[in-house]
Structure 1
Amino acid sequence: MTVTASVLDLNADLGEGYGDWSVGDDAAMLDVVTTANIACGGHAGDGGTMRAACRGAAARGVAITAHVAYPDLGGFGRRFLDIAPNDLTDLVIIQVGALQAMAAAEGTRVRGVKPHGALYSALAHHEGQAAAVVAALGELGGQLPLIAAPGAVAVDAARETGIEVVLEGFADRAYLPDGTLTPRGRPGAVLTDPAAVTAQARSIATEQRVRTADGSWRELPVRSLCLHGDTAGAVGLARAVRSDLEGVGVRLESAL
């Protein structure tokens, strides 16, 4: 397949500390990415962590999304919680609102909402939770785009209510043949080899497809590409991806 130039948003999950506990190097990642998904109290993130991440993003002109999650600090938001839809709607509103307040205090604003971990995965197939998150976005004014995976039931639910959707792929996660992410508990689910990560990023960015676990190709028409801030060697991987994409003519800018 011919490689063609494209425009892509490079995002990372940041602000994932809490109190004295920190994860990753937010400052270094903010020098590379175009959008920061900032944890806002569900799986991680307290007032100081949110404020620092917002300050860093504002100083670099990096767009901010609210990285909403199940209320699961102990499990880092990677365990499914069967939360009642009304309660989930309220949780999303609370988390987004908290980050909006911190962003405003630092002279910037939240531009979108990206669910985290198990909630992100649930929105691919769980109609009740998808409707709950979309309801929260509507009650927040309907102007914040939802960042989601292609094919997720939340995508259609959001679009049906007039909420913009930004489709997202992952540079550092392995894909199954059906286009979903390989569960983290399986070997090879997280990619840490720079050559593998840059190759996957390039195929997604320039060909809109990804090589899956069985060797087949899967179409992946996305506008944003994620790198996890807590992946081993995250900063080096992010720098390698950015350098490689720019080298083949991909223009990096936020989708928000």
Structure 2
Amino acid sequence: MVYVGTSGFSFKDWRGVVYPEYLQPSQFLKYYWAVLGFRIVELNFTYYTQPTWRSFVQMLRKTPPDFYFTLKFPGSVTHVLWKEGVDPRGEIEKFSEEIRPLLEEGRLKSSLAQFPFSFKFSARNMEYLKKIRDGYPHEIAVEFRHYSWDREEVYSFLSENRITFVIVDEPKLSGLFPYKLLVTSSRAYFRFHGRNPRWFEVEGEERYDYLYSREELNLLLKDVKDISQKVEETYVFFNNCYKGQAAINALQFKEMLEGKM
């Protein structure tokens, strides 16, 4: 089973491109699955704000039973506490409590720990990953940005601890983690960020200003198909969300996967 979606669904600059101009933000999620036909979404707001179980209950009510979610760990866990030498398990426990509605309905596929470029390989940071794994009894996927994590001992660690390695497509720039087709659990997790060559020069949403070509999507599709034969489930998320490009590419990719293009 291969699920295709986008990293987030509620963006102002998607109006007039992905969503009709008249559509209210409260209707975006319903449009995302009912009209666009997606069956999964990666929630990014959980990185920026402390989620509440009420927000998840509302999302569950707006989507059918066969619609699923992945979500990002809070920024405190992936971007702050490791710098301060603080054990993340307290934050993870609070996070686990708030996402309980998704877990109880079996609608959460995985949780993503996306670490910044400044999070480099070290024994201390490996131990930090272990604390996250020990403190979170559900499915975890980890994305590295710094190339120093590209080593066999890291992949062995992920496999031994049932952590899904996130396969990332991003600009081929010095220091960034390479595009590496690898499986470390029963699931595969792809994140396509785009290939903006100005990655280190721009900030925020502009970093993901990129539209994949049909030729590029074809090559990615082959890789997704090959990897999906080795796992039980595969998740593919387009994160080139600037001005709706993620949704455009995800729709193209989904149709190509289904043999409609």
Number of residue-to-residue matches in the alignment: 213
Q: Report the equivalent of 1:138.
A: 134
Q: Report the equivalent of 2:167.
A: 168
Q: Report the equivalent of 1:203.
A: 219
Q: Report the equivalent of 2:42.
A: 37
Task: Give yes or no for contact 1:11–1:37 (8 Å, CA) kept in 2.
Answer: yes
Cα displacement (A) at 1:68: 0.8
Please state whether the residue corresponding to 1:14 is helix, strand or coil. coil
Q: 1:146 to 1:207 in 2, by over 3 A?
A: closer
Cα displacement (A) at 1:114: 0.8
One-letter code of the match for 2:217?
Answer: A
Task: Give yes or no for contact 1:8–1:205 (8 Å, CA) kept in 2.
Answer: no
Q: 1:144 to 1:160 in 2, by over 3 A?
A: same
- 1:71 aligned to 2:76? yes
Q: 1:191 to 1:230 in 2, by over 3 A?
A: closer
Pairing of 1:236-247 with structure 2 (within 5 A): 236-247=248-259
Gaps of 5+ in 1: 1-6, 209-219, 250-256
- 1:114 aligned to 2:126? no
Give the Cα–Cα distance (whole angstroms) in 2 for the partners of residues 133 and 52 of structure 1: 31
Give the Cα–Cα distance (whole angstroms) in 2 for the partners of residues 80 and 139 of structure 1: 17
Task: Give yes or no for contact 2:51–2:95 (8 Å, CA) kept in 1.
Answer: no
Please state whether the residue corresponding to 1:114 is helix, strand or coil. strand
1:101-125 CA distances to partner (integer Å, 9 max, x unpaired)? 23257x3442311124xx2556674
Q: 1:63 to 1:232 in 2, by over 3 A?
A: same
Return the match for 1:52 from 58, 61, 74. Answer: 58
TM-score relative to the length of structure 2: 0.59
Higher relative contact order (CA 8 A, sep 6+): 1
Task: Give yes or no for contact 2:67–2:107 (8 Å, CA) kept in 1.
Answer: no
Task: Give yes or no for contact 1:38–1:65 (8 Å, CA) kept in 2.
Answer: yes
Give the Cα–Cα distance (whole angstroms) in 1 for the partners of residues 97 and 117 of structure 2: 23
Q: Report the equivalent of 1:192.
A: 210
Q: Report the equivalent of 1:91.
A: 91
Q: 1:85 to 1:50 in 2, by over 3 A?
A: farther
One-letter code of the match for 2:178?
Answer: G
One-letter code of the match for 2:102?
Answer: A
Give the Cα–Cα distance (whole angstroms) in 1 for the partners of residues 126 and 40 of structure 2: 23
1:139-192 CA distances to partner (integer Å, 9 max, x unpaired)? 333x4142546965764433223x14254334xx43437616777433685253
Cα displacement (A) at 1:40: 6.0
Task: Give yes or no for contact 1:86–1:132 (8 Å, CA) kept in 2.
Answer: no
Task: Give yes or no for contact 1:11–1:35 (8 Å, CA) kept in 2.
Answer: yes
TM-score relative to the length of structure 1: 0.60
Instruction: Pick the structure with greater CA Rg.
Output: 2
Give the Cα–Cα distance (whole angstroms) in 2 for the partners of residues 152 and 200 of structure 1: 24
Give the Cα–Cα distance (whole angstroms) in 2 for the partners of residues 16 and 129 of structure 1: 33
Question: What percent identity do the matched residue pairs reach?
Answer: 6
Cα displacement (A) at 1:227: 1.0
Gaps of 5+ in 2: 20-27, 180-192, 229-233
Give the Cα–Cα distance (whole angstroms) in 1 for the partners of residues 119 and 60 of structure 2: 26
Please state whether the residue corresponding to 1:186 is helix, strand or coil. coil
Please state whether the residue corresponding to 1:65 is helix, strand or coil. strand
Task: Give yes or no for contact 1:9–1:225 (8 Å, CA) kept in 2.
Answer: yes
Please state whether the residue corresponding to 2:238 is helix, strand or coil. strand
Give the Cα–Cα distance (whole angstroms) in 2 for the partners of residues 145 and 102 of structure 1: 17
